[in-house]
Amino acid sequence: MQGRKGGFLRTRLIAITWSLILGASLMALKFYVYGMTQSSAILSDALESIINVVAGAFALWSILLAAKPPDPGHPYGHGKIEYFSAGFEGALIMVAAVGIIRSALPQFLTPRELPNLESGLLILLGTSAVNLSLGLGLLRTGRKTRSLVLIADGKHVLTDVYTSAGVVAGLLVVHFTGWYWMDGAIACAVALNILVIGFKLVRKSFAGLMDAADPELLDQIAVILEEHKRRHWIDIHDLRAWRSGNRIHLDFHLILPGTLSLDSAHEEITWLQHELKNHMPDVADIFIHAEPRLDSECPICTRQSCELDPSGAGPYPDISASCRKDPEK
């Protein structure tokens, strides 16, 4: 398990490092194209790329920090920095959108001719192709390694692709029609789309920081518990789970027969913790509260007695060691 986590960390670091190197190179190319064409839309695209590089550097720092093990000052680890990083990146995307609109409005209101447009478009198309491959790769790696930071960075890179696509589309129209006002109009339209994407990232980050319920995660845990359920379990309730970066914290109550010994209850919980960690390697902390059922009437089946307690006098006697090892018993 430790090897798998170490492999995830190496994969994340390699992915975000490539994101930084390529992002900085493409940003320089876009400013070069702006110098060639004096297009406000291309300038907006280049400005968005600056934030892309800054956000990538922040993402690298957050991945390194999130990988640190828990310590006395941070007993639940440092994983929530990933939510902060994703929210920071979403906020930067929104700032970039506002900057794009501000720089595009003058070209829309007082359009001017754009020199070297054809050559600039060819270079911009090349940067878009590289960015598309980078963004899809970051998303794939982020989902594989369960890294919200990489997913956020991948979405940010893809917004750069959307920006470039909108700019290229608008400038192609400008090139063939001479409608130079469209240089600013297309840039404004793309900025609105970027604003929506940034808002979604901020909202997802806020939900993670506030420990919002994760129905998909809870359903996954419920399926595992159902598949490994033993006959002598009476009920499970108060199931809670939350993510802290790539780590999962889980707790719930397991109702067991009241006559079960303390040692037997402890063995039951230890076995269940082991099974959960085998099926969910990202689970960092599991707290299971063993709760006795002392009433003769079971709240689940509402019968006064069952085949395991034919006397009807209450919970069945302690479970043998062989029964604890065999879930079917």
Assigned CATH class of 215-325: alpha beta
Query: What stretch(es) of the chain map to CATH 3.30.70.1350?
Result: 215-325
C-beta separation of 34 from 76 below 8 A: no
Beta bridge partners of 242: 249
Angstrom distances, CA of residue 263 to CA of 230, 260, 268, 275? 17, 8, 9, 19
pTM score, whole prediction = 0.61
Instruction: Report the percent of the chain where pLDDT is more than 90.
Output: 20
**Neighbouring residues of 219: CB distance < 8 A, sequence distance ≥ 6:** none
Per-residue pLDDT, 124:
92
pLDDT at 328 over 70: no
| Of residues 320, 13, 315, the one with CA closest to residue 142 | 13
C-beta separation of 298 from 232 below 8 A: no
Instruction: Measure the CA–CA gap between 272 and 303, rounded to whole angstroms.
Output: 27
Listed range (83-87, 109-113, 227-231) with the worst mean pLDDT: 83-87
Residue with tokens 């920071």: 88
**Neighbouring residues of 241: CB distance < 8 A, sequence distance ≥ 6:** 214, 217, 218, 221, 248, 249, 250, 251
Per-residue pLDDT, 5:
55
Query: What stretch(es) of the chain map to CATH 1.20.1510.10?
Result: 2-209
pLDDT tens-digit map of 65-99: 767 777 788 777 777 777 887 788 788 888 888 88
Instruction: Measure the CA–CA gap between 51 and 59, rounded to whole angstroms.
Output: 12
pLDDT at 329 over 70: no
pLDDT band at residue 4, thresholds of 50, 70 and 90?
Answer: low
Per-residue pLDDT, 216:
82
Q: Which CATH superfamily is domain 2-209 in?
A: Cation efflux protein transmembrane domain (1.20.1510.10)
pLDDT averaged over every residue in the chain: 80
Kindly compute the dihedral angle of the four CA atoms of residues 309, 311, 315, 319, in this order, to the nearest 10 degrees. -50
Q: Which segments of 67-147 does DSSP mark as H helices, in order?
A: 81-109, 117-144
